[in-house]
Amino acid sequence: MEGKLPAGISRTTITKLVLPPDTNHLGTIFGGVILSYIDEIAAITAMKHSQEVVVTASIDTVNFLSSAKVGDILYLEGVVISTGRTSMEVYVKVETQSLKSRKKTVTTTAILTMVAVDEKGKPTPVSGVEPETEEEKKLFQNAQARKERRLRINELSKECRV
């Protein structure tokens, strides 16, 4: 584990094609398929930062902003935006591009918390992160508020019985 690493070390991009099995009866991609892609890129992103295996601790926010249709191209980008002792927050943005118009549109954004684990499955320390872009700096500034919100939700979850 080092001091702080530049966010760019973790930056990961994946390109996908929206295929018929990934879509609903309206011909738009299932939200669950998008969530699967988001979880996968977040894991890869966090592993690049930590150089360790990671597990998903939480999906803190997911914003479905627009849809993607069969034949559209999806561009996913992930980057570590803050770290704790063993955890990393990963921001993921998903854009869609129509093959015909070439216009790109943001379809989904998400923030996930990933935890680095050792070979025994125990949490292991990670390096800090140094945000580089303006967007990363804004997300980094709000990390403590997001952490406090997560902790409150976790406590409420333990108390609730449905």
Burial of 111 (0-12, 13-18, 19+ CB in 10 A): buried
For residue 101, what pLDDT is reported? 87
- Cα distance between residue 123 and residue 119, in whole Å: 10
The tens place of each residue's pLDDT in the chain, 162 residues long, gives: 668 999 999 999 999 999 999 999 999 999 999 999 999 999 999 999 999 999 999 999 999 999 999 999 999 999 999 999 999 999 999 999 988 888 999 999 999 999 999 999 999 999 999 999 999 999 998 988 888 888 888 888 888 776
The pair of structure tokens assigned to 15 is 């390109």
| Domain residue spans of the chain | 4-159
Using DSSP bridges, classify how beta strands 104-117 and 53-64 pair: parallel, antiparallel or unpaired: antiparallel
Beta bridge partners of 16: 74
**Residue 37 and residue 7 in contact, taking contact as beta carbons nearer than 8 Å:** no
For residue 1, what pLDDT is reported? 61
CA distances from 21 to 15, 18, 28, 66, 94 (A): 17, 9, 10, 19, 19
CATH 3.10.129.10 corresponds to the domain 4-159: yes
**Residue 98 and residue 24 in contact, taking contact as beta carbons nearer than 8 Å:** no
Q: Apex CA 91: angle with CA 86 and CA 97, to 5°?
A: 150
Residue count of the chain:
162
